[in-house]
Amino acid sequence: MKPMRVGLLGLGTVGGGTVEVLRRNREEIARRAGREIVVVMASARDLAKARPVGVEGISLVADPAAIVSHPDIEIVVELIGGETRARELVMAAIASGKHVVTANKALLAKHGNELFAAAHAQGVMVAFEAAVAGGVPIIKAIREGLTANRIEWLAGIINGTCNYILSEMRDKGLPFDVVLAEAQRLGYAEADPSFDIDGIDAAHKLTILSAIAFGIPMQFDRACIEGIGKLTAADIKYAEGLGYRIKLLGISRRTPGGIELRVHPTLVPARRLIANVEGVMNAILVKGDAVGPTLYYGRGAGAEATASAVVADLVDVTRMATADPEHRVPHLAFQPDRLSAIPILPMEEVETACYLRLRALDRPGVLADVTRICADRGISIDAIFQKEAGEGEEQVDVVILTHRTREKDVNAAIRAIESLATIASPVIRIRLEELL
């Protein structure tokens, strides 16, 4: 059988890794796919820089549109990133009857509904394992491995940059800014790190995971997103003393009122496996009604880790290319005409336990005022910890752990607490999840 001919849009880190993995594991991949998979064309902004990547036998072009329109290309692999140009190229590839493999989480989170509808109408596939958690096969696990289950919730460490920063802050007691600078020096964080540390990257990935888990359209614009920029070494230390670790989690949960879709720093019990995922590693915990909790762990970025997922998608597309389009695995796990209209739950209606840290004047009656405010809003307190005032100190830290409470009630309590004359600074709130 003739080889499956592939065109790469982008020969950067992941593109070069994809060429290398396909070349190194050529025979093994062909045995699995049923035919050889060969990159025959690739585009790069700087052709001179691309040539040392190991592109012998590959036709190099500067314009990716030349690949999309080439009649011999059967699968287009989009690795250029961004939204506008990538969307144009992917839509053009679909319109030309070509299958698409992409690692572009932003493209899918914002335009996935349009892309999947176009692909379904054209009878081609859009595969995207590499868009979430690099080499961890979480898309296939949820879409196919857990098909028998009604997914109840998922929670993931899906941004390695943030996980590295939080791990270093906990291990070394350093402030956020110092660790961020070190992460930039080591290449774990970009010169402009906002995409990662503000939680946007994680929200793109969570949008994709929630769509597959619950059979809903992509709804990135409905996600609640909170980054790690305001976390302090003090909060990480207090959490550790209480038996918790702070992780930036993407959480999506099925509730009677709708689907929760939220990214934020979260206290997790230190005894949980996911709490012990350190450095740049990723991990996703998925709870199914039949299987219970399942954990998927691995490297979430890097040339060959991400290339592993790209090549896995190429093998899947090659296997399924001749199958009846109506009997392929659906893009979002559920048949396109059976997606659910269940809404995304507004963040104010979400229920979580909370960690609250107050900076209060060391005077009698302060805790009584705070606990009364919580009680008036139906907030049940699980524990209170007050740091002893040092010599000459007039202010002390007070840490409160609450039971599960609606977000809007906690917001109201925080506003009331901050209005007290005895509270010296804004209340720090970090949500807490037991992940049972």
Q: Which residues have a catalytic role annotated?
A: 205
Six-digit token pair at 281? Answer: 């590693």
Structure-block tokens of residue 340? 């659910």
In the numeric block, which tokens belong to residue 141?
């696990």
Which sign does the torsion angle of CA 139, 132, 83, 217 carry? positive
Q: Give the span between the Cα atoms of 204 and 104, in whole angstroms.
A: 9
Are 50 and 287 in contact, with CB atoms under 8 Å apart?
no
Q: 158: which 2 tokens? A: 């899906």
d(CA 110, CA 157): 21
DSSP string, 225-237: E--STT--HHHHH
In 3D, which of 126, 128, 141, 135 has the Cα closest to residue 160? Answer: 135
d(CA 76, CA 435): 39
> Are the C-beta atoms of residues 419 and 430 closer than 8 Å to each other?
no
For residues 215 and 200, give the distance between their C-alpha atoms in angstroms, rounded to a whole number: 22
Q: Which residue has the tokens 């509270």?
A: 423
- Provide CB contacts within 8 A for 118, sequence distance 6+: 91, 94, 95
Name which of 42, 68, 36, 69 is nearest 57 in CA terms: 42
